[in-house]
Structure 1
């Protein structure tokens, strides 16, 4: 059995009971598509219980109370809502399916979804699964990327009001506003036991491939490669940052000497007496000093079936 076959398994007729957790604040106006999708799943033999959650603790309790009868948890919301369930799903070892209802939908991108609800429901009905890694920072689980410095300021600027009025341009608006607030910091790093000292304005530690609405943390990273990808931006002018932006967008920042890049299984970060906030998947989760590590193949998710290679023809 080849690696691709092992990582993508059809589970037709295996999913019977699904809990659909929906963030009521996510993507207003999606009710009709949700109703149609639920009907599609029930036609495929999946019994769906819909649960409107007011927050992570309520969602966690809903899963824990049903864990012995659940075959699947479907989470509808943005990256923060989905990420808040990572620890519970790992603890219960219940497969996850994603309904992208947020602004960024970066986990959906890492899984190969386009962000359209009909496609997401079709993927669930088709039933192909794969195992992905989880990132951990100070015992908090995350899917995509954790930030110190500039990335935290961006998240703070990314208010619901900004998302509502700026839509897909929300992250650009928040980035510009955050530039005026960011300050440089010193950090000591232990990267799989190798030590570095950095002066930085931004550190990003990625488990998944995407963050911030489609930015790539590293062009070589995947959400199932068993590694974390870190980049650190050395202090630089606003103009230098703007010229670096295309490389940051595509995950090619390793080609610029103003950026430090490394991949590892475990990364420890200490910022001395200056404790710094850490945000993961858009939510505040921890402070330095911080221990980051990866849990390889920690969670099963439903994802699009991989494309079969085109048959070779000698004609």
Structure 2
């Protein structure tokens, strides 16, 4: 699908994630103007402001371009889906995992060139307790990693901030019990980390499942059994590449609908790096729910992420 004719776009940018990209943004908007895409720039100070502005302007728009990190982009997923507005991703964050899943190029100038070609393809959205997300929702260790990943750590450590936060979280993670239903099948698990992936990448380039794509119509779930720090470290390379099904210490499942409860307490769920819900949780896959601007060649051929996407 292609956006035809003259097109009106809104470019929403998180100023905290711009990383000195002002000149690139102006050049990119000029590129879009030449391609017949009239673009208005809006700097958003919060996720709520982003959602409100899209809602107020949705009747005037043909495309919404969001520049920022995964949390910034994911915060608009629900609103974009509600108003059936196509999305273009401008990766300006630390991890840029959604851009990786879409096979977008690393250079911002090249991303604007992709947007100018106006090629759209449908992707899936995940929903947990009614809240949409793109990449991965998790609980346990993943949430603790996010809590360790402060703005100060991101600024000081850059792409290595995820690794630093991981080791800090690993020493204080606690196990929990899970009652899980996947497409009607029942499971009981003990876990220290449980993740439900809609996209392919999360946490700075980790692969949720080597088979997963953001348009494959299924969730990919994995749960890590309680184990020692040393055992976990030997598992880490498999987790990084999405090959954890090769390890007996990991439970891996796929499905379209998932429901779970946790004991001994309710647990916080983070999606795309942001707190979004608590257990008990109901996950629903919204297949083909959102049109996104992509390069059809890299998205189709490189849904495995071989289209590189950069970081801060």
TM-score normalised by L of structure 1: 0.93
For the pair 1:56 / 2:56, whether they are aligned, the reply is no
For the pair 1:142 / 2:125, whether they are aligned, the reply is no
Contact 2:143 / 2:269 at 8 angstroms: preserved in 1?
yes
Question: Which residue number in structure 1 is paired with residue 249 of structure 2?
Answer: 258
**2:232 aligns to what SS in structure 1?**
helix
Contact 2:180 / 2:258 at 8 angstroms: preserved in 1?
yes
In structure 2, C-alpha distance between the alignment counterparts of 1:15 and 1:285, rounded to whole Å? 37
In structure 1, C-alpha distance between the alignment counterparts of 2:6 and 2:244, rounded to whole Å? 42
Question: Which residue number in structure 1 is paired with residue 223 of structure 2?
Answer: 232
CA displacement 1:131-177 (0-9 Å, x = unmatched): 00000001010000001100000000001000000011010000000
Question: Which residue number in structure 1 is paired with residue 305 of structure 2?
Answer: none
In structure 2, C-alpha distance between the alignment counterparts of 1:272 and 1:15, rounded to whole Å? 54
Q: Is there any run of 5+ residues in structure 1 with no aligned partner, and where?
A: 1-8, 310-315
Contact 2:178 / 2:191 at 8 angstroms: preserved in 1?
yes
Deviation at 1:259, TM superposition (A): 0.2
The aligned runs of 1:1-315 (5 Å cut-off) are 9-11=1-3, 13-14=4-5, 16-306=7-297
* Cα distance, 1:203–1:237 mapped onto 2, change above 3 Å: same
In structure 1, C-alpha distance between the alignment counterparts of 2:166 and 2:264, rounded to whole Å? 27
Question: Which residue number in structure 2 is paired with residue 5 of structure 1?
Answer: none
In structure 1, C-alpha distance between the alignment counterparts of 2:97 and 2:147, rounded to whole Å? 18
Contact 1:100 / 1:116 at 8 angstroms: preserved in 2?
no
In structure 1, C-alpha distance between the alignment counterparts of 2:225 and 2:256, rounded to whole Å? 23
Deviation at 1:70, TM superposition (A): 0.3
Deviation at 1:265, TM superposition (A): 0.4
**2:40 aligns to what SS in structure 1?**
strand
In structure 2, C-alpha distance between the alignment counterparts of 1:226 and 1:242, rounded to whole Å? 31
Deviation at 1:233, TM superposition (A): 0.2
CA displacement 1:219-275 (0-9 Å, x = unmatched): 001101111000000001111111111110110000110000000001111014500
In structure 2, C-alpha distance between the alignment counterparts of 1:28 and 1:111, rounded to whole Å? 22
In structure 2, C-alpha distance between the alignment counterparts of 1:167 and 1:283, rounded to whole Å? 18
In structure 1, C-alpha distance between the alignment counterparts of 2:111 and 2:215, rounded to whole Å? 20
Question: Which residue number in structure 2 is paired with residue 4 of structure 1?
Answer: none
Deviation at 1:10, TM superposition (A): 3.3
In structure 2, C-alpha distance between the alignment counterparts of 1:306 and 1:277, rounded to whole Å? 38
Contact 2:87 / 2:292 at 8 angstroms: preserved in 1?
yes
- Aligned CA-pair RMSD: 1.2
In structure 2, C-alpha distance between the alignment counterparts of 1:72 and 1:185, rounded to whole Å? 43
**2:16 aligns to what SS in structure 1?**
coil
Question: Which residue number in structure 1 is paired with residue 307 of structure 2?
Answer: none
User: Whose Rg is larger?
Assistant: 1
In structure 2, C-alpha distance between the alignment counterparts of 1:164 and 1:43, rounded to whole Å? 35
Q: Segments of 4+ in structure 1 off by > 2 A?
A: none
In structure 2, C-alpha distance between the alignment counterparts of 1:183 and 1:115, rounded to whole Å? 37
Deviation at 1:304, TM superposition (A): 1.0
Deviation at 1:28, TM superposition (A): 2.2
